[in-house]
Amino acid sequence: MTIMPKEIGGYIELELREGQHYHENAIRLNSARSCLRYVIRAYNIKKLYTPYYTCPEIWTAIESEKCEIVFYEIDKSFMPVQKFDEDDFILYTNYFGICSNNVKILAAKYKYLIVDNAQSFYSKHYGIASIYSPRKFFGLPDGGYLICERLLEDEFEISTSFHRFSHLIKRIDGGSNFGYKDFQDNDAELGRENIKKMSHLTDRMLQNINYEKIRDIRLQNFNYLNEYLNKKNEYNFGITEEDVPMFYPFLFYDENLRNRFIENHIYVQCCWKDIQSRVKLNMRELYLQKFLFPLFVDQRYDISDMKRMIEIVDL
């Protein structure tokens, strides 16, 4: 590889300071999907136990490495229903960023646990590998963090991110609908990309985030929602000091609630709505898919926004 000398002169680029990464010692790759593929290669995994109730993009990443998927169900506490053998490789999703206690229990029991922390950016490392998707928590075009107990000797090329940046800046000028098609296109393009190192742009952006401030805002919003909605919430949970939620998981039987949110310009997603095109979910998982409302608690919002969502629930 030819190393180019540092450029001097020309125009000034986007100003980004040189700070620190939150997961400073992690392997920095182009996506969380690439992180999972890296682990499969590093451990030469031929069969991976994977939850039915999780992001279908994970299945594509696993199969791209010629690895067999063996699906398992979860119980009402989001723990695996079945028991695994000692030498089984198990992928567990840290659901909603509030299942760190489940992760600790499984890591103590199974030596080949891989933790999908895509919904739990702030979580500590457990098992043989922890995978993080920072773009689910922050405004980024791509990127993934991997903490892995075994390293590959492969030399991966560095990704580029400038062409996946459009949806981020379009939303600032025109709102989410204005940039949504770009978001879909950029995500699809990223899904087709091979394992690469994190781009210089994403690397620098990750060094410019106020992680502690964002942590505090998320917890404040989450706790406020929980104070008012916990009696209605069918999902009983207890977060630990390690948990920083991606959203507030509100499980509630109401056929019209999602429409009421949309009518009020609150776009509460359906978690992994494409699952059924691939697998047959059990009744509990089908119920979760239809009536679990992931309420936003991230750094874009404050208590007034939480009150607005509570009012819609109470209509």
**Residue 200 is assigned to a structural domain of this protein:** yes
Residues 6+ apart with CB under 8 A from 143: 28, 29, 30, 31, 133, 134, 135, 161, 198, 199, 202, 203, 206
Q: Are residues 45 and 181 in the same domain?
A: yes
CATH number at residue 243: 3.90.1150.10
**Residue 14 is assigned to a structural domain of this protein:** no
Q: Are residues 269 and 147 in the same domain?
A: no
pLDDT in tens, the chain (315 residues): 456 787 888 888 888 888 999 999 999 999 999 999 999 999 999 999 999 999 888 999 999 999 999 999 999 999 999 999 999 999 999 999 999 999 999 999 999 999 999 999 999 999 999 999 999 999 999 999 999 999 999 999 999 999 998 999 999 888 888 888 999 898 888 889 999 999 999 999 999 999 999 999 999 999 999 999 999 999 988 899 999 999 999 999 999 999 999 999 998 888 777 776 667 777 888 888 889 999 999 999 999 999 999 999 987
Q: Are 194 and 35 in contact (CB under 8 A)?
A: no
CATH number at residue 155: 3.40.640
The C-alpha atoms of residue 58 and residue 69 are separated, in whole angstroms, by: 10
**Residue 21 is assigned to a structural domain of this protein:** no
Q: Are residues 155 and 246 in the same domain?
A: no
Domain count, the chain: 2
The C-alpha atoms of residue 213 and residue 14 are separated, in whole angstroms, by: 23
Closest CA to 229 of 132, 295, 178: 295
Q: Are residues 183 and 233 in the same domain?
A: no
The C-alpha atoms of residue 72 and residue 3 are separated, in whole angstroms, by: 47
Q: Which of 156, 184, 206 is the last residue in one of the domains?
A: 206
Q: Are residues 164 and 216 in the same domain?
A: no
**Residue 15 is assigned to a structural domain of this protein:** no
Closest CA to 246 of 287, 299, 172, 210: 299
**Residue 7 is assigned to a structural domain of this protein:** no
Q: Which residues of 251-280 are buried (b: 16+ CB within 10 A; e: fewer)?
A: beeeeebbeebeeeebebeebbeebeeeee
Q: Are residues 82 and 184 in the same domain?
A: yes
Q: Which of 188, 206, 224 is the last residue in one of the domains?
A: 206
Q: Are residues 147 and 238 in the same domain?
A: no
Distances (CA, A) of 174 to 19, 20, 21, 178, 301: 30, 31, 30, 5, 18
Q: Are residues 194 and 287 in the same domain?
A: no
Q: Are residues 194 and 245 in the same domain?
A: no
The C-alpha atoms of residue 73 and residue 282 are separated, in whole angstroms, by: 8
Q: Which of 144, 175, 206 is the last residue in one of the domains?
A: 206
Q: Are residues 39 and 179 in the same domain?
A: yes
Residues spanned by the domain of 303: 211-313
Region of 51 on the Ramachandran plot (φ > 0 left; ψ -120 to 50 alpha; else beta): beta
Q: Are residues 159 and 219 in the same domain?
A: no
**Residue 4 is assigned to a structural domain of this protein:** no
Distances (CA, A) of 58 to 33, 88, 130, 208: 7, 18, 14, 28
Q: Are residues 151 and 81 in the same domain?
A: yes
Helix boundaries (H) for the chain: 32-42, 56-64, 100-109, 166-174, 176-191, 200-206, 211-229, 257-263, 283-291, 303-313
